[in-house]
A and B are shown apart, each in its own frame.
Chain A
Amino acid sequence: MGAAGDIEIFRHRLGSIVEEMGATLQRTAYSTNIKIRRDHTCALFDAELRHIAQHDIAPQHIGTLISLVPSAIQRLSIDLEPGDGVLINDPYQGTGALHLPDVVLICPLFADGDLVAYAANSAHHVDIGGSSGGGIPPTSTELYQEGLILPGIRAVRNWEYEDNVLTLVTRNVRGTDQRRGDYEAQLGANRIGQERYRSLVEEHGRETVEDSLDGLLDYTERRLRAAIADLPDGEYHAEDTMDGDGIVEEPLPLSLTVEVDGTDITFDFTGTAEENAGPLNCTPALAFAGALYSIMALLGTEFPKNDGFYRPFETITPKGTMVNPSKDSPVAGGAEIAVRIADLVLAALADALPEETVAGGKGTIVNLSYSGEDPRTDEDYVYYETVAGGYGARATKDGMEAVQAHYQNTANSPIEELEAEIPLYVRRYELIPDSAGAGRTRGGLGVRRDMEFYDHEASFTVLADRATAPPKGLFGGRNAITARYCVNPDGDDPVDLGSKRQVTLDPGDVASVQTPGGGGYGDPLERAPVAVRDDVVNGKLSVDYAREVYGVVVDPETGEIDDQATAERRAELAAEPEGAV
C-alpha cells in the first residue's frame, strides 16, 4: 500500500467486509423486515471495542451497536473463543438500544490465535415475544411486556448456536421456525466477517492493520471537525410535541438545543418531558442516533462511520426524561421520538442552513403489526410493517410524496406478497389529497393504506405518532395535516385509534392508516400558479384548498387558471394578517 493512499484503501477494505456481511444477512434472513425492508446493519469493532466500520443501510442501528457491543463484551465473565457468539438486545446496557426486536449478535474475530476484532450485526426481527405480536406493544408499562430480554449471553460455540439457547429463545417468540432462520442468517453474516477480517490481518500483519485503524479513525474525526467548523457557531433551538404515551393521552414536549461551538456539537435535550409510563421512551443511544442522522445528512458528505465520527459530539439527556428513562421502563416506541429528533435538528438548524434544511416531515415510524389465525391454513401469523408519509419541502424543491422519514428508509411490502402471506386485502394504497403543508415549495403527500382483514378476527396494533402535532412548515410554509389511524373509516361508525393502540378487528373490518404529509417552505402566495394548477388537475390538491391557501383559482371543469380571480384572491390573502388560514 502506498503511504498516502492507506486510509482510503483501508476504508475500502473494511467497507467491503461489512458490505459482504450485510449482503449475506439480507439475502438469507427470513423476516421481511430484514430481507426486504433492509432493517439491519453490520459493523466491525476492533479489539479495543472501537467501532471501525459499518454497513450504511439503517443508521438507527448505529446507536444500538456502538452502545451494546462494548458493554456486552466488557460484562462477559468468560473469555471468548473462536466461533463464539453473544446475543444481546437489552436496552438498559451501555447507553441503550433501540428496542427489543433489534437483536444483536456479536462474534469475536481471531487471527493467528489472537482476538483481533469483533463482528456484530443488529437485525430487526419480526417478533421477539411479549404481549403483542410484532414486538411493538403500544400500551406496555414495563420492558418485560415488550418481549424476551437477551442480556448478552454466549449463545454460539464453534459457529453453531447452542441448541438449548436457541430453542429457549425461539420458543418465546411467535413464528419459531422462521425466527430460527433469522438467527442463522445473523450468524452467517458474522462468519463472513471472520473470514474476511482474518485475511486482512494475514495480508498486512496485525500491527499495520492497527496503525491503519488509528489513522482511519483520526482521519474521520479530522474530516468531521473540518465540516463542523464550517457551520456558524451558535445555539439553535427547536421543539415539538409527541401525542402521548399510549397510556395517558396528553401532549409531551420534546425539546432540543443544538450548540455549535467551533468543531464541537452538543445536543441538549433539557426541557423534554419526563419519562412515560407507556412505551414512549427513547434510550440515550437512540436519541443520539436520531440527531446524528440529520447531522450526517446536513454535512453533505458520506463520511466513514466509526469511532472517529462520534468524537466531536456530546449529548445531554437529563435522567428521568423520555430520552433517558429509568431502568426497565418500556421503550417500544422509542423510535417515534428518535425520528422526531431528526426533524428537530433540521428545524433547529434551519436559520443556519436555510438552503440545506428540510421542513417537518412524516416524523413518525408508523409501526404496524397484525396477527391472528389465517383462515386459509389455520396457522398463526404475525406481520410487521411501516407506512411512508410526506417529506418536508426544501428551499427549491417540493417534498417527496410517500417516502420514509430520515434514518428510516425501509421499503414497503408489495401488496401481492402481503396478501399471499396474510389474510387481508389492501383496499386502498394511495396519496392523500390536501395532506401536505402549502408553501412556495410544498410538502409531500401522506399515504392512506386501508386493509380489510377477512374471515377471521385479527389483532391490529399501531404504534405511531403525529395524530395531534402536525409536521411544521418553515419560513412561512404551512403545517401539514396530522395522521389518522382508525377502523372502518368509510363505515357508519368509524373508530379512531389515536396513535398507540392494539385492537381486535372483527372479520371484514378495515384498518385504515393515514399518514401525515410534509410541511411547506416559504410563502404559499409565492408558488407559481401553474404548479398549483398541476396539483389540482392531478387530484393532489382540491380546488378549494388551492383557492383558500394558495390564492389560485382553478376552474374545476377545464382545469384552467382564472388569472384575474387569482390576482384578486392573492391580493386579498396578502392583506390578511399572518396565520389567518
Chain B
Amino acid sequence: MIRLGVDTGGTFTDVVCYDRESGTVRVTKSPSTPPRFDEGVLNGIDKIRDIVGFDPGDVSYLSHGTTVGTNAVLENDLPDIGLITNDGLRDVLEIGDQTRPALYDLQVEKPPSLVPRRLRRGVPGRLDSRGNEVDPLDEAAVRAEVDHLVDEGVESIVVSMLFSYLNERHERRVGELIEAHDADVAWTRSSAVHPESREYDRTITTVLNEAVKTTVEEYFTRLDAGIAERDLDVPLNVMHSGGGIFSTDQAIKHAIRTVVSGPSAGATAAREVTRAEGLENAIGIDMGGTSADVSIVRDGEIVRSTEGEINDLPVKTPMVEINTVGAGGGSIAWLDEGGALRVGPESAGADPGPVCYGNGGERPTVTDANLLLGRINPSYFLDGEMDLAVERTRDRFTTAIADPLDLSVEAAAQSVVDVANASLAREIRRVTVERGQSPGEFVLVAFGGAGPLQAPAIAADMDMDAAIIPQNPGVFSARGLLLADVRIDESQAYHAETLAVGPLARQFDDLEATLLDRFADQAVDPDEVMLSRHVDMRYEGQSYEIAVPVDPPVDEASVETAVERFHEEHARLYGHARRGEPVAAVTLRASGEVETPPLADRTDDTEADPSKGTREVYFDDEIHDTAVYDRTALSPGRTIEGPAVLEEPGSTSLVPSGTIATVTDSGNVRVELTD
C-alpha cells in the first residue's frame, strides 16, 4: 500500500511517497506550474510513480496541500461579489477595525474591502443583541437590491446582517428572495459560514470564503479529473488550515479553510515527532531560506487559533497557529547606521542566494556565516550539488562585517548567527507568551534546510531542555501530508443569556449533528469519528475568550469542570482568576477527527561507519577539532558528545560542546541541553 502527499509551493511541488511494505519514504520535487498548478501536481504524481514504480491501484491515500486559494487572496484575483447587509452599515466591510496596518508607516494601505462600495447594499431590518426583531425586514427593499446586484453582474451575493449568529431568520429570508429571482445567482449567508459574534469578522470571513470558492472549485474539478485519468482510485484529501485533511467537496464549500494551509503540514509532522518521542509540549520551527515558521504542540495537540489573517484581513476559522519570522539561511547580515549588526529581514533568497552559492550573491548571509564557522561542509553542502566559493565568502564577509566591526571573521560570523537566533528567540517567546505559554516548558523540534543548525542555540536561549532534529529535516514538512488526520471543525455562537447546562447541551447536540452530517458527506462512518467539544469562555465584560474542553456527556458536572478549567487557565495565562465573577460562554466549538495511522519508517541499525573524521569548527570563541558524522549511518541508541557536526543530504545539524545527542528509537536526534 502506498501513501502519497503532494505539496504545491510557489517554485516547486514536493511529492512524498510512503511504501508501507518496505517502510520507506521517498521524496521528489517537480516544478510548479502557475497559474495551472494542477498540472504540476499531476506531473509530480507521474514522476514519483516512475521513480518508485508503484501500481496506481496500490495507492490507498492521497493528500494535497495547495496555495490556489491563498494566491487568489494575495493577488486579489477574486470574482465580483455583492453584499446585502443592514441599512446604514454597508461600509462596515471597508471601515474594518479602523486601524492602520502599521503604526509608523505613512505610506501604508488598508486591506482591500473585497466588495466595492457600489456592490454593498443596505436594507432595513434589524435584530437586537438577544436576537429579537427590532425592525422587520423590508422585503421590497431586498428585491430592489437583488435586482441591482444582478444588473451589476455579480457572481454571488453574501448576506450578512447584525446578530444573525443568534437568529438567522432575516438572512434566510433574504436568501429566499434571492432564490426567487429569475437570475439564478449564487448566495451565501454569514450565519452559515461563520456563526459567531463581531460583524466585521463574520462578514469578511464569509466574503473571503465565497470569493475563493470559484477558484478552488475550478481547480479541484480539473485535478480530480486528472487523478481519475491516472487510474488512482482514491479520494483526494485536501490539507486545510486547521492542520487536518478533508474532501474536495468540503474544500469547495469551506474554501477559506484552504487558505494559509501550507505551513500546517509542517506543524502536523512536528506533532508526530512530539508524540513519537513521548513528549507533550514542543515548538516546531521550520526554517528555510528566507523565513522560519513557528508552530506549537501542547499536550500532544497542535495549538490552533481563530485569529489568523491573510493580507491584513482577519480570517476567523480555526487554523494552526503559525507565526512567521523573517529569519532564514538566506537572511542578509548588515550594519545599520548606528553600527549595530543586523540580520534580515531582507533575504538573498534562492537567487542569487548566499555568497557561497557562487550565483552572484554579494551580501553575506546566515548560511555564509555557518560556512565560515566550519559548521557547513563546503563539499558536502547540498549534497555536493553546488560549488562553494569559500574564499569569496570569506572576502565578502571580511569587507562587509568583520573589518568594520574590528573582529575576526569567525567572531563576526558567530555574531551573525547569534543575532539571527536572538530574533527567532524573541519571536518564539512572543508567540508563546501571547498564548500564555512559557517557552521553557517546551522542546524545540527544528527542521527545514536551516533549522537544525540553529536549533540547540535557540533552545538554550529559551531555557528548553532539548532540541529534536527529525529524520530528513530538509523535506520534513511534506511528511505532514501523509500523517494528517481527517478533521472537521464547526462552531456556533452560544445563545442564551447565561451559562446554563440545558441550552449548552442542546446547542452542542445541534452542532455535533451538523458536524457528523459533514463527515457523512465524506462517506465516513460516524462511529469512527473522535469528537471533541470546546467552549470559548470569558468573564462577563471581557472581550477575550479562552477555549476550554467540555467532557461528554454535557451535564452539570462537566460544565462545572469546564468552568473550573477556565478559571485555572485564566490564572495560568494571565496571573489571576476571578472566581467570584460570572463566566460567560461565547462560542461553542465541536471538532471531529478520524485518525490517519502513523508511518512506520523507523530507522534500522546500520553497519555503515558513521564517522567522517574531524573538521575545524568555531565554538565558544575558539576553533575546535570537531567530529563529523554521517547522520544517515547513525543507529538508534547511539550517543554523541558535542561538539560534533551531523551531516546528511539537504541539512546539517550541530551538537554544541557541553551537549549530548542521542539517536532515538524513532530515528530522531535529540540534543540534550545541560546547563
CA distance A383 to B430 in the complex (A): 31
Would you call B433 and A23 a contact (CB within 8 A)?
A: yes
Which residues of A have CB within 8 Å of B89?
Answer: 415, 426, 428-430
Would you call A220 and B106 a contact (CB within 8 A)?
A: no
Report which residue of B129, B201, B401, B429 has the largest number of chain A beta carbons within 10 angstroms of its beta carbon.
Answer: B129
Chain A contact patch, size range: 35 or more
CA distance A225 to B661 in the complex (A): 48
Question: Which of B110, B116, B337, B414 meets A223, CB within 8 Å?
Answer: B337
Q: Does B22 count as interface, using CB distance less than 8 angstroms?
A: no
A421-461 vs B, CB cutoff 8 Å, 1 = contact: the mask equals 10001111111000000000000000100100000000000
A162-191 vs B, CB cutoff 8 Å, 1 = contact: the mask equals 000000000000000110010011001001
CA distance A426 to B95 in the complex (A): 14
Known: A27-B573, A178-B541, A403-B98. A416 touches B415 (CB 8 A): no
Would you call A420 and B129 a contact (CB within 8 A)?
A: yes
Which residues of A have CB within 8 Å of B128?
Answer: 419, 425
Would you call B416 and A5 a contact (CB within 8 A)?
A: yes
Q: Does A201 count as interface, using CB distance less than 8 angstroms?
A: no
Q: Give the Cβ gap from B240 to chain A, nearest Cβ, in Å.
A: 26
Identify which of residues 223-280 in chain B touch chain A, using a CB-to-CB cut-off of 8 Å. Answer: none
Tell me the nearest residue of chain B to A539, going by C-beta.
B117
Which residues of B have CB within 8 Å of A400?
Answer: 100, 108-110
Would you call B88 and A15 a contact (CB within 8 A)?
A: no
Would you call B88 and A401 a contact (CB within 8 A)?
A: no
Identify which of residues 509-568 in chain B touch chain A, using a CB-to-CB cut-off of 8 Å. Answer: 539, 541-544
Which residues of A have CB within 8 Å of B343?
Answer: 8
Known: A1-B418, A401-B94, A404-B100. A23 touches B106 (CB 8 A): no
Identify which of residues 195-242 in chain B touch chain A, using a CB-to-CB cut-off of 8 Å. Answer: 197-201
Tell me the nearest residue of chain A to B416, going by C-beta.
A5
Would you call A12 and B422 a contact (CB within 8 A)?
A: yes
CA distance A68 to B461 in the complex (A): 34
Q: Give the Cβ gap from B189 to chain A, nearest Cβ, in Å.
A: 16
Question: Which of B92, B129, B416, B543 meets A429, CB within 8 Å?
Answer: B92
Question: Which of A2, A407, A429 meets B418, CB within 8 Å?
Answer: A2
A216-229 vs B, CB cutoff 8 Å, 1 = contact: the mask equals 00011011001100
Would you call A28 and B199 a contact (CB within 8 A)?
A: no
Which residues of A have CB within 8 Å of B200?
Answer: 414
Would you call A219 and B198 a contact (CB within 8 A)?
A: no
Would you call A5 and B422 a contact (CB within 8 A)?
A: yes
Would you call B543 and A35 a contact (CB within 8 A)?
A: yes
Q: Does A24 count as interface, using CB distance less than 8 angstroms?
A: yes
B172-191 vs A, CB cutoff 8 Å, 1 = contact: the mask equals 00000000000000000000
Tell me the nearest residue of chain A to B343, going by C-beta.
A8
Q: Give the Cβ gap from A243 to chain B, nearest Cβ, in Å.
A: 22
Q: Give the Cβ gap from A380 to chain B, nearest Cβ, in Å.
A: 13
Identify which of residues 110-163 in chain B touch chain A, using a CB-to-CB cut-off of 8 Å. Answer: 110, 116-118, 126, 128-129, 134, 162-163
CA distance A400 to B98 in the complex (A): 10
Which residues of B have CB within 8 Å of A414?
Answer: 197-201
Question: Which of B98, B118, B342, B433 meets A8, CB within 8 Å?
Answer: B342
Would you call A5 and B341 a contact (CB within 8 A)?
A: yes
Q: Does A357 count as interface, using CB distance less than 8 angstroms?
A: yes
Would you call B118 and A538 a contact (CB within 8 A)?
A: yes
Q: Give the Cβ gap from B83 to chain A, nearest Cβ, in Å.
A: 13
CA distance A281 to B118 in the complex (A): 43
Q: Give the Cβ gap from B480 to chain A, nearest Cβ, in Å.
A: 28
Q: Give the Cβ gap from A573 to chain B, nearest Cβ, in Å.
A: 26
Q: Does A356 count as interface, using CB distance less than 8 angstroms?
A: yes
Q: Give the Cβ gap from A211 to chain B, nearest Cβ, in Å.
A: 15
B565-601 vs A, CB cutoff 8 Å, 1 = contact: the mask equals 0000010011110100100000000000000000000
Tell me the nearest residue of chain A to B425, going by C-beta.
A12
CA distance A397 to B105 in the complex (A): 13
Q: Give the Cβ gap from B18 to chain A, nearest Cβ, in Å.
A: 40
Known: A4-B411, A27-B573, A429-B88. A402 touches B336 (CB 8 A): no
Which residues of A have CB within 8 Å of B414?
Answer: 2
Q: Does A32 count as interface, using CB distance less than 8 angstroms?
A: yes
Identify which of residues 315-366 in chain A touch chain B, using a CB-to-CB cut-off of 8 Å. Answer: 346, 356-358
Which residues of A have CB within 8 Å of B543?
Answer: 32, 35-36, 417
Would you call A2 and B411 a contact (CB within 8 A)?
A: yes
Known: A3-B407, A429-B91, A430-B89. A13 touches B422 (CB 8 A): yes
Q: Does B405 count as interface, using CB distance less than 8 angstroms?
A: yes
Would you call A430 and B90 a contact (CB within 8 A)?
A: yes
Would you call A416 and B163 a contact (CB within 8 A)?
A: yes
Would you call A403 and B100 a contact (CB within 8 A)?
A: yes
Q: Does B412 count as interface, using CB distance less than 8 angstroms?
A: yes
Which residues of A have CB within 8 Å of B118?
Answer: 537-539
Question: Which of B91, B103, B416, B581 meets A56, CB within 8 Å?
Answer: B103
Q: Does A394 count as interface, using CB distance less than 8 angstroms?
A: yes
Identify which of residues 1-26 in chain A touch chain B, using a CB-to-CB cut-off of 8 Å. Answer: 1-5, 7-9, 11-13, 15-16, 19-20, 23-24
Q: Does B423 count as interface, using CB distance less than 8 angstroms?
A: yes
Would you call A5 and B98 a contact (CB within 8 A)?
A: no
Would you call B103 and A394 a contact (CB within 8 A)?
A: no
Would you call B542 and A425 a contact (CB within 8 A)?
A: no
Which residues of B have CB within 8 Å of A391?
Answer: 100
Would you call B117 and A538 a contact (CB within 8 A)?
A: yes
Which residues of B have CB within 8 Å of A427?
Answer: 88
Q: Does A30 count as interface, using CB distance less than 8 angstroms?
A: yes
Which residues of B have CB within 8 Å of A177?
Answer: 581
Which residues of B have CB within 8 Å of A540?
Answer: 117
A384-426 vs B, CB cutoff 8 Å, 1 = contact: the mask equals 0001100100100100111110010111101111011100011
CA distance A394 to B106 in the complex (A): 8
Of the stretches A73-81, A139-147, A294-302, A470-478, the one at the interface is A294-302
CA distance A20 to B407 in the complex (A): 34
A232-263 vs B, CB cutoff 8 Å, 1 = contact: the mask equals 00000000000000000000000000000000
Which residues of A have CB within 8 Å of B339?
Answer: 219, 222
A22-49 vs B, CB cutoff 8 Å, 1 = contact: the mask equals 0110011010100110000000000000
Which residues of B have CB within 8 Å of A387?
Answer: 98
Would you call B104 and A19 a contact (CB within 8 A)?
A: no
Which residues of A have CB within 8 Å of B163?
Answer: 416, 419
Would you call A28 and B574 a contact (CB within 8 A)?
A: yes
Question: Which of A3, A298, A407 meets B411, CB within 8 Å?
Answer: A3
Known: A24-B575, A401-B94, A414-B197. A223 touches B422 (CB 8 A): no
Q: Does B97 count as interface, using CB distance less than 8 angstroms?
A: yes
Q: Does A561 count as interface, using CB distance less than 8 angstroms?
A: no
CA distance A302 to B199 in the complex (A): 33
Q: Does B42 count as interface, using CB distance less than 8 angstroms?
A: no
Would you call A20 and B415 a contact (CB within 8 A)?
A: no
Question: Which of B198, B411, B581 meets A417, CB within 8 Å?
Answer: B198
Would you call B430 and A184 a contact (CB within 8 A)?
A: no
CA distance A400 to B99 in the complex (A): 10
Q: Give the Cβ gap from B654 to chain A, nearest Cβ, in Å.
A: 16
Tell me the nearest residue of chain A to B493, going by C-beta.
A416
Question: Which of A184, A185, A219 meets B340, CB within 8 Å?
Answer: A219
Known: A415-B89, A447-B95. A19 touches B110 (CB 8 A): no
Would you call B429 and A226 a contact (CB within 8 A)?
A: no
Would you call A9 and B134 a contact (CB within 8 A)?
A: no
Q: List 8 A-B contacts (CB under 8 A).
A: A4-B415, A7-B340, A12-B426, A27-B434, A28-B573, A223-B338, A388-B98, A447-B98
Closest 3 CB pairs of A and B: A223-B338, A2-B415, A428-B88
Interface residues of A (CB under 8 A from B): 1-5, 7-9, 11-13, 15-16, 19-20, 23-24, 27-28, 30, 32, 35-36, 56-57, 59, 177-178, 181, 184-185, 188, 191-192, 219-220, 222-223, 226-227, 293, 296-298, 302, 346, 356-358, 387-388, 391, 394, 397, 400-404, 407, 409-412, 414-417, 419-421, 425-431, 447, 450, 537-540
Q: A2-B414, A12-B426, A411-B99 are in contact. List 10 more A-B contacts (CB 8 A).
A: A2-B411, A5-B418, A30-B541, A188-B575, A223-B338, A297-B104, A400-B109, A412-B95, A426-B88, A429-B88
